[in-house]
A = this chain, B = another copy of it.
Amino acid sequence: MREGADARIEIGYGLADVTHLLRMAFDQRMRKMGLTTATWRVIAWLSRQDGQTQAALAQRLEISRVALGETIDRLEKSGHVERRADPTDRRKWRVHLTLLSRDLLPRMFETSAELQDAYFQDFSEAELKQLQLSLTRLRARLVEMKIETPDEESGK
Protein backbone atom coordinates (compact mmCIF):
# COMPACT_ATOMS: atom_id res chain seq x y z
CA MET A 1 0.00 0.00 0.00
CA ARG A 2 1.14 3.51 -0.67
CA GLU A 3 1.99 5.91 2.08
CA GLY A 4 -0.01 9.00 2.76
CA ALA A 5 -3.34 7.35 2.25
CA ASP A 6 -4.41 8.57 5.65
CA ALA A 7 -3.41 12.12 4.85
CA ARG A 8 -5.44 11.95 1.66
CA ILE A 9 -8.52 10.75 3.44
CA GLU A 10 -8.09 13.33 6.16
CA ILE A 11 -7.84 16.02 3.54
CA GLY A 12 -11.11 14.91 2.03
CA TYR A 13 -12.87 15.18 5.35
CA GLY A 14 -10.99 18.36 6.19
CA LEU A 15 -12.07 20.13 3.04
CA ALA A 16 -15.66 19.14 3.56
CA ASP A 17 -15.66 20.20 7.20
CA VAL A 18 -13.96 23.51 6.67
CA THR A 19 -16.17 24.47 3.76
CA HIS A 20 -19.22 23.49 5.71
CA LEU A 21 -18.18 25.56 8.72
CA LEU A 22 -17.28 28.56 6.58
CA ARG A 23 -20.61 28.48 4.85
CA MET A 24 -22.43 28.10 8.16
CA ALA A 25 -20.62 31.05 9.69
CA PHE A 26 -21.43 33.35 6.81
CA ASP A 27 -24.96 32.05 6.35
CA GLN A 28 -25.85 32.66 9.97
CA ARG A 29 -24.99 36.30 9.54
CA MET A 30 -26.69 36.64 6.18
CA ARG A 31 -29.84 35.04 7.51
CA LYS A 32 -30.17 37.92 9.94
CA MET A 33 -30.64 40.20 6.98
CA GLY A 34 -33.13 37.83 5.44
CA LEU A 35 -30.84 36.16 2.92
CA THR A 36 -30.23 32.47 2.38
CA THR A 37 -27.26 30.75 0.74
CA ALA A 38 -29.00 30.67 -2.60
CA THR A 39 -30.16 34.29 -2.48
CA TRP A 40 -26.98 35.97 -1.27
CA ARG A 41 -25.04 34.11 -3.91
CA VAL A 42 -27.24 35.60 -6.61
CA ILE A 43 -26.99 39.09 -5.15
CA ALA A 44 -23.22 38.82 -4.84
CA TRP A 45 -22.84 37.92 -8.48
CA LEU A 46 -25.20 40.62 -9.65
CA SER A 47 -23.21 43.14 -7.66
CA ARG A 48 -20.28 42.38 -9.93
CA GLN A 49 -22.33 42.57 -13.06
CA ASP A 50 -25.92 43.69 -13.03
CA GLY A 51 -28.47 42.71 -15.63
CA GLN A 52 -27.24 39.23 -16.47
CA THR A 53 -29.52 36.69 -18.07
CA GLN A 54 -30.80 33.77 -16.04
CA ALA A 55 -28.85 31.28 -18.10
CA ALA A 56 -25.59 33.17 -17.56
CA LEU A 57 -26.23 33.43 -13.83
CA ALA A 58 -27.05 29.76 -13.52
CA GLN A 59 -23.80 28.87 -15.21
CA ARG A 60 -21.84 31.20 -12.95
CA LEU A 61 -23.39 29.71 -9.84
CA GLU A 62 -23.14 26.17 -11.17
CA ILE A 63 -26.77 25.35 -10.57
CA SER A 64 -29.48 24.40 -13.04
CA ARG A 65 -31.50 27.01 -14.90
CA VAL A 66 -34.59 25.70 -13.17
CA ALA A 67 -33.17 26.10 -9.68
CA LEU A 68 -32.03 29.59 -10.49
CA GLY A 69 -35.43 30.51 -11.91
CA GLU A 70 -37.07 29.57 -8.62
CA THR A 71 -34.54 31.55 -6.62
CA ILE A 72 -35.15 34.59 -8.82
CA ASP A 73 -38.90 34.12 -8.27
CA ARG A 74 -38.37 34.41 -4.51
CA LEU A 75 -35.97 37.30 -4.82
CA GLU A 76 -38.42 39.12 -7.03
CA LYS A 77 -41.26 38.50 -4.59
CA SER A 78 -39.15 39.84 -1.72
CA GLY A 79 -38.20 42.88 -3.75
CA HIS A 80 -34.48 42.20 -4.00
CA VAL A 81 -34.28 41.93 -7.77
CA GLU A 82 -36.42 42.65 -10.79
CA ARG A 83 -36.66 41.00 -14.17
CA ARG A 84 -36.54 43.24 -17.20
CA ALA A 85 -37.14 42.04 -20.72
CA ASP A 86 -34.17 42.03 -23.04
CA PRO A 87 -34.84 44.59 -25.79
CA THR A 88 -33.33 42.49 -28.55
CA ASP A 89 -34.15 38.92 -27.59
CA ARG A 90 -37.62 38.16 -26.33
CA ARG A 91 -36.59 34.82 -24.83
CA LYS A 92 -34.33 36.45 -22.29
CA TRP A 93 -34.90 38.04 -18.93
CA ARG A 94 -32.29 40.40 -17.57
CA VAL A 95 -32.02 40.31 -13.79
CA HIS A 96 -31.33 43.59 -11.97
CA LEU A 97 -30.66 44.46 -8.34
CA THR A 98 -33.09 46.81 -6.66
CA LEU A 99 -32.20 49.57 -4.22
CA LEU A 100 -33.23 47.27 -1.39
CA SER A 101 -30.45 44.82 -2.12
CA ARG A 102 -27.93 47.49 -3.04
CA ASP A 103 -28.26 48.75 0.52
CA LEU A 104 -27.35 45.27 1.76
CA LEU A 105 -24.09 45.01 -0.16
CA PRO A 106 -21.85 47.00 2.18
CA ARG A 107 -22.91 44.90 5.13
CA MET A 108 -22.30 41.73 3.17
CA PHE A 109 -18.76 42.73 2.29
CA GLU A 110 -17.99 43.90 5.80
CA THR A 111 -19.17 40.63 7.26
CA SER A 112 -17.08 38.67 4.84
CA ALA A 113 -13.95 40.68 5.66
CA GLU A 114 -14.51 40.38 9.40
CA LEU A 115 -14.85 36.64 9.22
CA GLN A 116 -11.77 36.25 7.08
CA ASP A 117 -9.71 38.30 9.48
CA ALA A 118 -10.93 36.13 12.31
CA TYR A 119 -10.15 32.70 11.01
CA PHE A 120 -6.93 33.44 9.16
CA GLN A 121 -5.63 35.31 12.18
CA ASP A 122 -2.86 32.87 13.05
CA PHE A 123 -1.80 32.06 9.51
CA SER A 124 1.43 33.47 8.12
CA GLU A 125 1.51 34.99 4.66
CA ALA A 126 3.63 32.08 3.49
CA GLU A 127 1.12 29.58 4.76
CA LEU A 128 -1.71 31.40 3.06
CA LYS A 129 0.16 31.42 -0.23
CA GLN A 130 0.94 27.74 0.05
CA LEU A 131 -2.66 26.88 0.89
CA GLN A 132 -3.92 28.90 -2.02
CA LEU A 133 -1.43 27.16 -4.31
CA SER A 134 -2.45 23.69 -3.21
CA LEU A 135 -6.11 24.46 -3.68
CA THR A 136 -5.51 25.89 -7.12
CA ARG A 137 -3.58 22.81 -8.18
CA LEU A 138 -6.21 20.51 -6.79
CA ARG A 139 -8.95 22.39 -8.56
CA ALA A 140 -7.06 22.25 -11.85
CA ARG A 141 -6.72 18.48 -11.49
CA LEU A 142 -10.39 18.09 -10.80
CA VAL A 143 -11.48 20.27 -13.69
CA GLU A 144 -9.14 18.28 -15.90
CA MET A 145 -11.03 15.16 -14.87
CA LYS A 146 -14.07 16.71 -16.53
CA ILE A 147 -16.80 16.54 -14.00
CA GLU A 148 -20.11 17.59 -15.51
CA THR A 149 -21.92 20.34 -13.69
CA PRO A 150 -25.72 20.56 -13.75
CA ASP A 151 -27.37 21.58 -16.99
CA GLU A 152 -24.30 21.01 -19.10
CA GLU A 153 -25.62 17.82 -20.58
CA SER A 154 -28.10 19.76 -22.67
CA GLY A 155 -25.45 22.16 -23.87
CA LYS A 156 -24.01 19.90 -26.55
Contacts and interface: CB of A to CB of B under 8 A. Distances in A.
Interface string A1-32: 01111011111101111111111110010000
A45 interface: no
A14 B139 contact: yes
A130 interface: yes
A25 B142 contact: yes
A145 interface: yes
A61 to B, nearest CB: 11
Interface string A112-128: 01001111111101011
Interface string A126-150: 0111111011111101110101110
A62 interface: yes
Contacts of A23: 16
Contacts of A120: 4, 8, 11, 138
Given A132-B10, A137-B122, A139-B14, A147 B116 contact: no
A118 to B, nearest CB: 7
B15 A22 contact: yes
Given A18-B138, A21-B142, A121-B141, 20 more contacts: A10-B136, A11-B120, A11-B135, A12-B116, A14-B139, A15-B135, A17-B135, A18-B139, A18-B142, A19-B19, A24-B148, A24-B149, A25-B147, A118-B145, A120-B138, A130-B130, A130-B134, A131-B131, A131-B134, A134-B134
